[in-house]
Amino acid sequence: MKRTSLKRVGARGKANIAANKLIRQEIQDRDMPNSCEMSLVGCLRGMFLTIAHKHKRAWYKGNLDLLSDYQEWVIACTNCHNLQEHDKELTEDIFNRLRP
């Protein structure tokens, strides 16, 4: 087994970590329900929740303000997140409905 040290976290990784902390705080401050906001076909409701961004994380280029902006993310179960991830039109519809 090859023993190597872990790779250091870069600027984008640090921004992602900081954004996740801000998003968690936002969820608590807004007293958001612990369930999927998308509710698409095959939704798992309150199981396996993640944060789904409007764009791919690479699009934000480590911009902490955009990553943690309430208009740029929703709470989603993994099934809904996967459906939204690969369909631009569905993503636009979801964000227009949930974050007008």
pLDDT-based confidence at residue 31 (cuts at 50, 70, 90):
very high
Query: How far is Cα 67 from Cα 70, in angstroms, rounded to an integer?
Result: 9
Instruction: Name which of 73, 95, 76, 96 is nearest 35 in CA terms.
Output: 76
pLDDT of residue 53: 96
pLDDT-based confidence at residue 7 (cuts at 50, 70, 90):
confident
pLDDT of residue 49: 96
Beta strands in the chain (DSSP E): 49-53, 73-77
> How much is the average pLDDT of 34-57?
94
pLDDT at 2 over 80: no
pLDDT at 35 over 80: yes
What is the enclosing helix (H) or strand (E) of 97?
Answer: helix 88-98
